[in-house]
A and B are shown apart, each in its own frame.
Chain A
Amino acid sequence: MGNLLLFISVTNAMALLEFTDRGIYCARADVYIDPWKPVDRALITHGHADHSRWGMKAYLSTHSAGPVIKYRLGDIRLQTVGYGEVTTINGVKFSFHPAGHIIGSAQIRVEYKGEIWVASGDYKLEDDGLSEAYEPVKCQHFITESTFGLPVYRWTPQEEVFADINDWWRANAAEGKVSVLTGYALGKAQRLLHGLDSSIGRIYTHGAIENTNEVIRAQGIKLPDTIRVSKEINKKDYPGQLVLSTPGAVGQPWIKKFGQISLGAASGWMTLRGARRRRGADRGFVLSDHCDWPQLLEAIDLTGAENIYVTHGYTAIFSRHLRTLGLNAVELETEYEGELAEMETKQETMKG
């Protein structure tokens, strides 16, 4: 794959953005987008660990993504801008546009002398009511993920998924069981909270999730009431209630205190029977903050771009399909991991 990278940077030597082993690079402005190795200046699409990494000298993100990035990366030099606001560096215009992935997530638009690129980070088209809703941005060069870039991935509308989740909670409550629902601490957890029916019972949260909730509430975003799981809570309080947990905590002794549980997992991967069984969850709910197959194709169509760079997911298959549609699509090897990273960064979620 090293060859592929080299090939692209050579043929695009004059291009506005190039793909290097540190990340997506704009030479003219000397900035990187979501770099995975330390650089001087980084533009960050959103706060997930594979896009927002430690070690950059200076960071730029949206206002609403800022608090979480600061919380996760600690003492960094971070500047924030509003959506649509233009920052000009050596003549190159940079602006952030809603990506609909998580709170504060953005597509980064880069323009120089009429050449327009959009690096979309992670995104979804369905408005989850919490993240700033996705807005298509016209461009000639579109950098896209393809986490679920296979035609087997088609989401059902979120109302139906949440109705299933709430029914599951109700049924568990009737049996006196604790409903343990897993989702990544940043993004999925808040989206689940937003869709849960608080009239069924109380919602308890794992520490890593509650820490993130606190950061998000502090920036003025309203989330349903939650109670942090702690030693002080009487174990008899849990039956019938719901515990929101990180996927990583499920294999830990932490989970034992809840007694009889039903385990639910919410993720796009739950589409596949194999993935549902591998997670050992009692219930798999298909809920993702990424695009499904039809959404990916729609998004690409909406940009009007003819040059598509596919960064992570089923890159080879998805770009081949785009080529059959007459687009100039190439696959790139990056270190972005999409929903896999969000599900499996256990160490990090355990910190809180």
Chain B
Amino acid sequence: MIKLLEGPQTLGRGPVFWSCFLAVLAGALIYPLFADSYDVGNFSYFLIWIFMALGLCLMWGYGGMLSFGQTLFFGIAGYAYGVLAINMGGGTTTIAALLLSVVIAMIAAGILGYFMIWGGINGIFFGIVTLSATLVLAFFLGQTAGPEWHIGDARLNGFNGMKGMDPLAIGSVYIEGSALYYVMVALIVIVYLALRMLVNSGIGNVIVATRENPQRAEMLGYDVRKYQLLTFVLGSGLAGLSGALYTSWGQFITPSSIGLPAAAMPIVWVAFSGRSDLTATLVGSFLLLFGFQTITVYSQQAALVLMGALLLATVMAAPQGFVLGIGKFVADRLTGRGKRGEADLSAASTLKTDEA
């Protein structure tokens, strides 16, 4: 199992990489001791979105399925957590609400994924069908104002969004502040390492083979549809985890976190970071979220313009992603492969670009 942490599908191996990993982790763990609670809360907020980015990285970078529906499953799980937490009461049951809402998002992904994947929808259409579903959910929730729209005791409240659910709690103790931060860090470490193992395992190799050439993978005896559905359900489930955590963090969720422009954000993070590697996505998404939040304080529109410009710049200048490119460059320098490694890489990346 441990061996699978390193492999051909993930960048970063050997003592240097893992020392860096542990150093960053240690920094993350002692951070709350030095920072004030407001900053810790903000950091938890950035970490919420990482799951969604990692899920998209798995689907798009490894599975070759460009889903524009991350916020669809984010919204389904976010609203599901709200409905469940309000109806089942607070306390420890909120943990069950969190798990159930992720399961609900995965079931929804399974149903939508079945029709698309078994129908044979691919490439561009996969993106626009998932985006259509996302926008329809956002429109639907946007018009659910009024007392007649409720599930049990939970009012959907239309465009203003649902509120009043309890945050995650154990017994009568709310998981918030530093405790929530540590829960997030732990979840990210678990999800990140688990995804590394997944993509380096046999299943992961089939997922990558399907991305490279679905016909060839099928000829080798794999039912690629099952692997694609698995990838889609897992990736969307991670978006669901983000959604449920988001609702719990702020005790509200609105349709605007589902529709445009929110739906474009995961695409920007992952494209800018480098979709073909989990580590690049993790680092890049965090940096972008940090930058976005800093600018949003002054002007949300300006921050979104910058996001659009980054997306455009990425596809025009570095289709493989900026963070990934820089990471590979640094890694080459460190391992002393120097110029030759670079030349090979750039040759490989131009080849890939042409194919795509």
The answer to whether A and B interact is: no
Chain B contacts to A: CB under 8 angstroms: none
